[in-house]
Amino acid sequence: MITLFKNPSQIITVETNGLNFKRGISMNAISLLENHSLLIEDGKILDLIPNNSLGRKKFDQIIDLKDKVILPGLIDCHTHTAFAGSRSGEFRERLAGVSYEEIAEKGGGINSTVRSVRQSSLEDLVELMKPRIQRFIQQGVTTLEIKSGYGLSYFDEIKILKALDQIKQWSAITIIPTFLGAHTFPPEYQHEKNGYIKLLTEQILPYVAQNKLAKFCDGFCEKTAFNSNEIDQIFTVATELGLPLKLHTEQFNNIGGLETALKHNATSVDHLEVLADTDIQKLSKSETVSVLLPGVSFFLNYGFAPARKLIENDAIVALATDYNPGSSHISNLHLIISMACISMGMSVEEAISAVTINAAKALGLENEVGSLEIGKSADLMVLDTTEFSDLVYFVGENKNYMTIKNGNIIYQKSE
Ligand code: NIG
Ligand code: FE
């Protein structure tokens, strides 16, 4: 079946000429087409053709976009959507001056959400996630990564990953599950850290890999979580088991996480708020994606990651919400893009590349999604405006009109 999407005001293709990611200032080249139409066949991009060559061809279906903008479907490549409970009490403490790290040190923070998740059943987690995923779809998100990491026991980590497996079947968009057993040490292992690493490497990781419950293994390298030797041990085992890697690193302290992630050829390094100037060069040649999370800097009120320096040094930069109850209780990816432009100095074009093709690369999906190139999945969003920059300019407002996944309309704004 061939569908014609006709009369868009603009089509932003984020064309890569087959490279499937954008490094440094090439993130500004997002390929704007006017007077073109988009053809989709069996869920894939068939062609982008000038309107004057449409002629009298027949199509199975025609969708008139009435001067709206077509963009690749957005990709949120870093979220913790599988959480239960609320941390509004901690939020209020922080507003009164207590720091995020102080809260973590006294047993709150990640471990507070761990308590709530342990009390929730697999079914509870599935039901909690459904409306959250709907909110992403309404924004034009067509691929969403979700991490475990609030179970921190054999039973509870696998419970979360199995809940994600059910969500994958239920969801109209692609859900990418990531195993984050190395998020922090759970209370029962606070004084027996090696015991937890053994549990992760000898029991949970092998089960996760054998049962294909996660696409990636992630960790948190930080003073309040794992040191770089511990991450190294976990990453060595994950690699042996065939799991590609991601790492939360350089968030508050530089303790060797970046080095370890690059040594293991991680798919992405995420956060980087305190990335040292001397380390920026290390990302300029590697294909490891730098995933920046401005929502965290805003929500915790500290410095933003050096987006400009990374881009000027040829890094591959992606942006994500980091949606979670403690450090970025923000599920609005449009707001994140606006923050990246206003507070991190990114251009509108760079921000768009960062939530499309580069976010796809951060999930190992760059050959399938992230740009509107012939043969790729027909994952799109349609903006209810004639000008693509409005995605960023209407701060925090949802200008998405239509979400299309594999050629099917899965959301349309009511008129
Ligand atoms: O990406 N940095 C570690 N993990 C999450 C926060 C999790 C939480 O506070 O619940 C993050 O910021
Ligand atoms: Fe995170």
Q: How far does the centroid of ligand 2 lie from the alpha carbon of residue 41, in Å?
A: 36
Q: Which ligand is nearest to the CA of 77?
A: 2
CATH number at residue 41: 2.30.40.10
- Are residues 182 and 48 part of one domain? no
Q: Which ligand is nearest to the CA of 100?
A: 1
| Segment 96-154, tens digit of pLDDT | 999 999 999 999 999 999 999 999 999 999 999 999 999 999 999 999 999 999 999 99
Q: Which residue in 226, 220, 219 sits closest to 251, CA to CA?
A: 220
- Are residues 97 and 20 part of one domain? no
What residue owns the CA closest to ligand 1's atom 5?
327
pLDDT of 55: 82
| Segment 370-405, tens digit of pLDDT | 999 999 999 999 999 999 999 999 999 999 999 999
Q: How many CB atoms lie within 10 A of CB 278?
A: 8
Residues in CB range of 374: below 8 A, 6 or more apart: 45, 46, 47, 48
pTM beyond 0.95: the answer is: yes
- Are residues 287 and 166 part of one domain? yes
Residues with CB under 6 A from ligand 1: 80, 109-110, 113, 220, 248, 251, 296, 322, 324-327
From the CA of 328, give the closest atom in ligand 1.
12
Q: Which ligand is nearest to the CA of 117?
A: 1
- Are residues 287 and 190 part of one domain? yes
CATH number at residue 196: 3.20.20.140
- Are residues 21 and 55 part of one domain? yes
Lookup result for tokens 């890999």: 209
Q: What is the mean pLDDT of the chain?
A: 97
| Segment 167-221, tens digit of pLDDT | 999 999 999 999 999 999 999 999 999 999 999 999 999 999 999 999 999 999 9
With 0-12 / 13-18 / 19 or more C-beta atoms within 10 angstroms meaning exposed / middle / buried, residue 241 is middle
Q: Which of 321, 322, 336 to mutate to test the pocket of ligand 1 (most atoms within 8 A of CB)?
A: 322
Q: Which of 148, 150, 248, 292 to mutate to test the pocket of ligand 1 (most atoms within 8 A of CB)?
A: 248
pLDDT of 367: 98
From the CA of 326, give the closest atom in ligand 1.
9
- Position with higher pLDDT, 244 vs 55: 244
- Are residues 348 and 203 part of one domain? yes
pLDDT of 415: 74
Q: Which of 86, 105, 110 to mutate to test the pocket of ligand 1 (most atoms within 8 A of CB)?
A: 110
Q: How far does the centroid of ligand 2 lie from the alpha carbon of residue 110, in Å?
A: 11
Q: How far does the centroid of ligand 1 lie from the alpha carbon of residue 90, in Å?
A: 13
What residue owns the CA closest to ligand 1's atom 9?
326
| Segment 339-374, tens digit of pLDDT | 999 999 999 999 999 999 999 999 999 999 999 999
- Are residues 292 and 168 part of one domain? yes
What residue owns the CA closest to ligand 1's atom 1?
322
Confidence band of 56 (pLDDT split at 50, 70, 90): confident
Q: How far apart are CA 91 and CA 48, in angstroms?
A: 48
From the CA of 248, give the closest atom in ligand 1.
2
- Are residues 280 and 138 part of one domain? yes
From the CA of 322, give the closest atom in ligand 1.
1
pLDDT of 57: 84
- Are residues 143 and 82 part of one domain? yes
- Are residues 68 and 96 part of one domain? no
12 neighbors 370 (Cβ within 8 angstroms): no
Q: 28: domain range?
A: 2-72+371-412
Q: Which ligand is nearest to the CA of 223?
A: 1
The secondary structure element, H or E, covering residue 71 is strand 69-72
With 0-12 / 13-18 / 19 or more C-beta atoms within 10 angstroms meaning exposed / middle / buried, residue 403 is buried
- Are residues 67 and 37 part of one domain? yes
Q: Which of 78, 80, 304 to mutate to test the pocket of ligand 1 (most atoms within 8 A of CB)?
A: 80
Tally the domains of the chain: 2
- Are residues 184 and 66 part of one domain? no
What residue owns the CA closest to ligand 1's atom 6?
327
